[in-house]
Every structure is written in structure tokens, then in C-alpha cells.
Amino acid sequence: MIIYDNVEIGDDCIIGDYVIIGETSNQQSSSSPVTKIGYSCIIRSHSLLYAGCQLGNFVHLGNRATIREFSIVGNHCSIGMSAELQGNCTIGDYSRLQSFVSVGQQTKIGRFVFVYPYAVFTNDPLPPSSQLEGVEIGDFTQVSAGVILLAGANIGKFSLISVNSKVGGMFEDDSFIEGNPGRRIGKLSKMPFFNKDGKRHYPWPYQYATNMPWQGLDFDDWAINENIPLF
């Protein structure tokens, strides 16, 4: 592994082979901004952190993940294999990006957001231009495999974007979004998505808690305590 100057790494981190931490975007500059990695992180082999990025605590980086300059990853996040976070992005706590997700500059992803393989967050509304409009994704929203988010898309909380949709514009909370172009089919919480036990799957935090802070608790109790609006 190669660790450049001005890198701060917390306790109990595991760093894999052929990892680079603190690479500069302009390799000719002499001083580089501080790079911070919190405690109890796992940085898998072949991954790459640019100078100036920040990871919280308990972050897991998959093999060949890349975090570019000035991007900030919250606590308990996981960034999948070969996923790319370009510069100046923010990702909230407990969010998970799976393999090969590509996140363009200035994207803002909330907390408890899960993004599945090959989802792409673009940022140029009129290619090529110098306008840079990052995508925003609200807390608890699920972005399925192969989704393409157009520059400036703004997706509310507790929503689901279906596989392979192409989505631009603004969507309110609790949206089920599907299609090319992606449209709001209706309230996600009213859609007939039932699990094996015949229960409605969305809002998903009532059905899934693995490694989430409400694991072992009642989600309503946890959410009230955290001031999160309930369904």
C-alpha cells in the first residue's frame, strides 16, 4: 500500500494490498489537503482515496473503490467494488453503494440510501457544458440497478426507483418511480410489493434492519427518538 503525506487514519482500520491513500488530482502540486479516515474502517485491496476526501467511522470500501477529492462519506457507509465517487460529493450515514456505482461530482446522497449496481449519477444537463448540477437523493430512498439519474434530479425520501429507469426532475417523498423517462407511478407505500410473509415491503425500515441503527428496536420508537417523520 502507498500512503501519501497529510493522511490521518483512525484506530482499528484494516487497509488492503495495493491501496493508495492521498493521491493528488494534480500530481505536480507540492502540498496536498488533509485526507481523513475515521476509526474501524475497512479499505479493501486496490482501492484509491484522493487527497482531501473524508471517510467517517465504520466505513467499508470494496475492492477498487475510488473516492475523489473533497468527497465526504458518513459513518457506517459501504462503498461497493469498483464504485466511483467523483469530487465534492456527500453521502450520509448508513448509506450503501453497491458495485460499479458511478457518482458524478457534487452529488448529495442522504442517509440510509441504498444504490444498486451500475446506477449512474450524472451532472451535466447539456453535454458538454460547464453547468454542473449534482443529483440529490433523500433519506431512505432505494436506487435500483442500472438507473441513470440525469443532472439536477432531486428525489425525495422513502422512494424507490425501479431497475434501468432514466430519471430527471423533482420527485416528492414516498414515490415509486419507473420508466424511460422515469415517471411517478404512485405512492411507494401503497404499491403492491409484498414479501414472503404477505406484508407490504415499503416503507422498508419496518422489514429490514440488518446493521441499521434500529436493529433490535421498534422502528417507530427509534424514528420518533430521531425526529424522523413516520408513515
C-alpha cell at 161: 426507483
Q: How far is CA 174 from the centre of its chain?
A: 18
Q: What are the DSSP calls for 135-175, one per residue?
A: -EE-TT-EE-TT-EEPTT-EE-SS-EEPTT-EE-SEE-SSE
Q: Which is nearer to a second copy, 180 or 225 (CB)?
A: 180
57-90 burial code (b ≥16 CB/10 A, e <16): bbbbbbbbbbbbbbbbbbbbbbbbbbbbbbbbbb
Residues forming the site for a second copy (CB under 8 A): 2, 14, 16-18, 20, 23, 27-28, 42, 44-46, 48, 63-64, 66, 81-82, 84, 86, 99-100, 102, 104, 114, 116-118, 120, 122, 124, 126-131, 142, 144-146, 148, 150, 160, 163-164, 166, 180, 193, 195-196, 201, 204, 207-208, 210
Grouping H, G, I as helix, E, B as strand and the rest as coil, residue 201 is coil
148-to-49, 99, 168, 191 alpha-carbon distances in Å: 24, 15, 9, 22
Minimum Å gap between C-beta 106 and a second copy is: 15
Minimum Å gap between C-beta 36 and a second copy is: 20
Q: Which is nearer to a second copy, 99 or 154 (CB)?
A: 99
At residue 186, what are phi and psi to the nearest 5 degrees?
A: 165, -170
Query: Is the separation of the CB atoms in 56 and 111 below 8 Å?
Result: no
Minimum Å gap between C-beta 2 and a second copy is: 5
Minimum Å gap between C-beta 100 and a second copy is: 6
Minimum Å gap between C-beta 108 and a second copy is: 18
Q: 72-73 and 54-55 as β-strands: parallel, antiparallel, unpaired?
A: parallel
Q: Which is nearer to a second copy, 114 or 171 (CB)?
A: 114
Minimum Å gap between C-beta 153 and a second copy is: 11
